Structure 1
Amino acid sequence: MTVRIDDAAQHLCAKSDWKLSNLQLQKIIYMADMNFVGKYGERLVNEDFEAWDYGPVLPSLYHKCKAFGAKSVPPVFWGADDISDTREGEMLDLAWERLKSLSPGQLVETTHSDLGAWVRRYAPGAKQIKILSQDMIDEYDRRSDHASR
């Protein structure tokens, strides 16, 4: 089951005690989605990421949260469903546990990795360049191969 962006964002923000910035939220959801599609062959969220200057971005989430800048995103995900007891919620929890100690800059470095889909799609200053599910599956495979060395 693919979840709505607001469901995933609400889940992660609540998990962080509402301490995540827009950038941190984007990067953690991206890593969870990349791992989810790599593992299960289906997307975690119902929107494609785009290759923007600071890495993979969900445009609708960016526009909902951009007013908060680098500050924490407050509870703005009205009507979000609780996804705690789903595979999607579990993958978000796993991503949070693995990435919560990284700074925003370290999260950007992670998503800008040579192993990643972003680097293969990015064109400086361009927007609306989608990161496809297959790009994410390929990234998952490259990261898995790299980790097993």
Structure 2
Amino acid sequence: MAISALELAKYILNKSDKELSNLELQKTLYFTELDYIENFNEHLIADDFEAWQYGPVVREVYGEYRNYGANSIDKPEKETLLGLDEKKLEVINQSIEKCNKKSYWKLVEESHRDGGAWKKSFKEGKKEIISKALIKQEAKNNNGF
């Protein structure tokens, strides 16, 4: 059962140990998706990621928080419940924790790695959809992030 990226974004903002910018939130969404696929062999996020200059982006989430610019996004007022079992939430929470420990630029670097879905999809000046098959392939091949 895939969930909306916006719901997951709100969950991440609530669970995060540090304040996140839109870019950091996008990276956390992406790496959470990779970890989830690696563990459960299915996609967590229903929405498509697009290959933007600084890495994978879910357009709807970007639009929701773009007014923050590079500033930290306020935590949502109420907790978001994803309706997933404990095992799945544990993987998501661990992924958020891993991303929280990495710098802004380290996350960008890792999302741009050779052989990754973003690298295979990015075209200068365009915002191409990254196929779910490429994301799944990246998760299976080299998600040693």
Pairwise TM-score range, normalised by the shorter structure: 0.7 to 0.9
CA contact (8 A) 2:34 2:138 kept: yes
Q: Deviations over 1:38-86 (max 9, x none)?
A: 33232111201000111000000001111101111114588x7412753
Give the equivalent residue in structure 2 for 1:136: 135
Residues matched between the structures, number: 143
CA contact (8 A) 1:22 1:69 kept: yes
Q: Give secondary structure in 2 for the equivalent of 1:67.
A: helix
Cα distance change of structure 1 residues 105 and 36 upon mapping to structure 2, 3 Å threshold: same
Q: Which amino acid aligns with 2:68?
A: F
CA contact (8 A) 1:18 1:73 kept: no
CA contact (8 A) 2:22 2:73 kept: yes
Q: Which amino acid aligns with 1:130?
A: I
Residue range with higher mean Cα deviation, 95-104 or 105-114: 95-104
Give the equivalent residue in structure 2 for 1:115: 115
Give the equivalent residue in structure 1 for 2:49: 49
Question: What is the root-mean-square deviation in Å for CA atoms of aligned residues?
Answer: 2.2
Give the equivalent residue in structure 2 for 1:98: 98
Q: 1:88 deviation in Å?
A: 4.6
Cα distance change of structure 1 residues 98 and 18 upon mapping to structure 2, 3 Å threshold: closer
Q: Deviations over 1:91-121 (max 9, x none)?
A: 3211112121111111100100113110000
Residue range with higher mean Cα deviation, 20-29 or 2-11: 2-11
Instruction: Report the TM-score, using the length of structure 2 for normalisation.
Output: 0.86
1:1-149 equivalence runs, <5 A: 1-16=1-16, 19-75=19-75, 81-83=80-82, 86=85, 87-127=87-127, 129-144=128-143, 147=144
Q: Give secondary structure in 1 for the equivalent of 2:96.
A: helix
Q: Give secondary structure in 1 for the equivalent of 2:56.
A: strand
Q: Which amino acid aligns with 2:114?
A: D
- Percent identical among aligned pairs is 30
Instruction: Report the TM-score, using the length of structure 1 for normalisation.
Output: 0.84
Q: Which amino acid aligns with 1:56?
A: P
Q: Distance in 2 between matches of 1:3 and 1:18?
A: 23
Q: Give secondary structure in 2 for the equivalent of 1:56.
A: strand
